[in-house]
């Protein structure tokens, strides 16, 4: 299959629907500069990005990934490597700062995120303190591809749920509130399951005429919020499926067909079903699992136990894929994510490739380069430049990372 030059001029199912102005470079969100203070192993380091592609070269544990992590935090407010903000702050300091200049439509904006070891964060845009964290989402969008993402194929369902949620958080601002609400209901419901058996008797055993046990109301909350999450996840997968299948076909040379299937823990006969139908299904599922939930003291029903099935030619990728095939699959998922964010937000997100580009063979490196062209600002980390395709090294800004400091690449042309 011939490669599309760029994806809006791709195969028939991706009609050329984008306005011409979209190619105007000044419309893109561009990360101009980044300044890290007391963040991870950085004391005080600024960096200006002067090319669409930046390659960070360095030995292990010098701070390459930390730099990408800072950008990921700006985009998603989350880090996949730290469970508490304390871990993000330079040892013996109390406060870290990530400052960035982002250019939108040619206008520069200052973003500042302050992280404290106490866990309190403050976020500023152009000097204004934001009252709500959610307002920061969308200032920068990013797609991250790191070696951790191979967990998407190999790992537990949680990895795939986190990926879906990460994409939804960037696309649908309401989703953050839904996720937080669901988490709170789960915590409360689990606490109730563990305590007073009087309050938590399963509905079916409650005697008629009595007050309903408190659990019935937590069930209703779980079903209402849970089904909202399920509908949004189902809708997202419907949109990602054709994009991921397309990229997978392109990268694998047309030999393999990728399918993504949403497998919600509460069976969803029809993803278009009305909220009432899904909620009824949800409550029915809670009734069948009631005994098990009570003996375990934790909630077994709901989207916190959803799964996304990844199949290549109808076979589960987890069992079947070779290393190379798994990388191809993850790359296809990431390109689908990138394309969807670009479609919805109308700006290509930043692409952060952490230690994965050099692992791809030259063919796949080329596919990736074709896909992102010059439109997508890309930050790449690697320990060695040797296995890079010349197309990547050409016109890239190359920086050496050493002990939390950045230096211009001494080798000049970037080839050691």
Partner 1 sequence: MYTRPLARLIEELQRLPGIGSKTAQRLALHLINRPAGEIEALAKALLEAKQTVRHCSICFNWSAEDPCEICRSPQRDPSLWCVVADVKDLMAMERTREFKGLYHVLGGLISPMNGIGVDQLHIRELVARVAREKPQELIFAISPSVEGEVTMHVVKDYLKPVAPTLRMTRLAFGLPMGSELEYADEVTLARALEARQEL
Q: Which stretch binds partner 1 (CB under 8 A): 176-184, 254-262, 302-310, 362-370?
A: 176-184
What's the token pair of residue 319? 């069992």
Q: Which of 192, 312, 372, 399 binds partner 1 (CB under 8 A)?
A: 192
Distance in Å, CB of 217 to partner 1, minimum: 5
101, 188, 298, 366: which one contacts partner 1 (CB under 8 A)? 188
Regarding 296 and contact with partner 1 (CB under 8 A), the answer is no
Q: Where are the beta strands (DSSP E) in 139-273?
A: 142-146, 258-263
Residue position matching structure tokens 């990844």 = 310
In whole angstroms, the minimum distance from the beta carbon of 393 to partner 1 comes to 42
In degrees rounded to 5, what are phi and psi of residue 33? -155, 160
Residue range at the interface with partner 1 (CB under 8 A); choices 60-68, 195-203, 278-286, 320-328: 195-203
- Joined tokens for residue 287: 């009734």
> What is d(CA 125, CA 332) in angstroms, rounded to the nearest whole number?
33
Q: What is the DSSP string of 288-324?
A: HHHHHHHHHTS--SSGGG-EEEEEETTEEHHHH--HH
Provide the minimum distance between the beta carbon of 370 and partner 1 in the complex, in angstroms, as a whole number. Answer: 36
40: which 2 tokens?
Answer: 């991870």
d(CA 100, CA 46): 9
Among 87, 158, 196, 361, binds partner 1 (CB under 8 A): 196
Angle CA 263–267–269, to nearest 5: 100
Among 221, 241, 298, 405, the residue binding partner 1 under the rule CB under 8 A is 221
Applying CB under 8 A, among 187, 287, 346, 363 the residue interacting with partner 1 is: 187
Min dist. Cβ of residue 143 to partner 1 (A): 22
169 touches partner 1 by CB under 8 A: no
- Least distance (Å) between residue 191 CB and partner 1: 4
C-beta of 117 vs 382, nearer to partner 1:
117
Residues 115-154 that bind partner 1 (CB under 8 A): 132, 134-135
Query: Which residue, 98 or 137, is less far from partner 1 as judged by CB?
Result: 137
Question: What angle, rounded to 10 degrees, do the helices at 275-296 and 214-251 form?
Answer: 110
Element (H, E) at 124: strand 121-125
Nearer to partner 1, 99 or 186 (CB): 186
DSSP state letters, 195-212: S-TTTT--GGGSPTTSPP
3-state secondary structure of 271: coil
The site map against partner 1 for 254-293 (x = CB under 8 A) is ----------------------------------------
Give every strand in the sheet of 307-312, ordered side by side.
258-263, 307-312, 315-316
Residues lying near partner 1 in the complex (CB under 8 A) are found at 132, 134-135, 173-174, 177, 181, 184-185, 187-189, 191-192, 195-196, 199, 209, 211-212, 214, 217-218, 220-221
């Amino acid at each position: 299959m011939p490669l599309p030059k760029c994806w809006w001029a791709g195969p028939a199912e991706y009609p050329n629907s984008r306005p011409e102005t979209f190619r105007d470079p000044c419309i893109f969100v561009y990360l101009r500069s980044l300044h890290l203070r007391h963040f991870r192993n950085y004391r005080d380091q600024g960096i200006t990005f002067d090319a669409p592609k930046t390659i960070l070269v360095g030995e292990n544990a010098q701070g390459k990934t930390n730099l990408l992590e800072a950008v990921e935090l700006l985009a998603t407010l989350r880090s996949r490597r730290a469970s508490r903000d304390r871990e993000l702050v330079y040892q013996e300091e109390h406060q870290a700062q990530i400052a960035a200049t982002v250019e939108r439509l040619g206008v520069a904006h200052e973003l500042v995120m302050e992280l404290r070891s106490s866990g309190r964060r403050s976020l500023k845009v152009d000097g204004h303190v934001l009252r709500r964290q959610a307002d920061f989402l969308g200032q920068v969008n990013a797609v991250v591809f790191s070696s951790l993402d191979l967990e998407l194929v190999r790992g537990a369902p949680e990895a795939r749920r986190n990926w879906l949620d990460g994409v939804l958080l960037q696309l649908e601002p309401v989703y953050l509130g839904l996720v937080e609400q669901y988490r709170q209901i789960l915590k409360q419901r689990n606490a109730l399951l563990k305590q007073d058996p009087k309050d938590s008797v399963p509905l079916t055993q409650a005697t008629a005429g009595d007050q309903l046990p408190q659990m019935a109301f937590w069930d209703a909350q779980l079903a209402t919020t849970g089904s909202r999450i399920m509908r949004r996840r189902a809708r997202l997968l419907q949109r990602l499926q054709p994009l991921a299948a397309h990229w997978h076909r392109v990268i694998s040379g047309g030999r393999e067909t990728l399918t993504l299937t949403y497998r919600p823990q509460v069976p969803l006969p029809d993803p278009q079903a009305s909220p009432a139908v899904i909620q009824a299904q949800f409550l029915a599922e809670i009734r069948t699992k009631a005994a098990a939930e009570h003996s375990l003291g934790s909630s077994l029903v709901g989207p916190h136990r959803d799964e996304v099935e990844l199949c290549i030619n109808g076979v589960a990728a987890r069992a079947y894929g070779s290393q190379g095939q798994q990388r191809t699959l993850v790359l296809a998922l990431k390109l689908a994510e990138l394309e969807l964010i670009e479609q919805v937000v109308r700006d290509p997100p930043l692409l952060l490739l952490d230690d994965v580009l050099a692992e791809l063979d030259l063919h796949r490196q080329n596919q990736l380069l074709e896909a992102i062209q010059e439109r997508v600002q890309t930050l790449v980390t690697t320990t060695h430049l040797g296995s890079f395709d010349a197309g990547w090294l050409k016109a890239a800004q190359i920086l050496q990372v050493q002990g939390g400091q950045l230096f211009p690449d001494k080798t000049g042309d970037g080839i050691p």
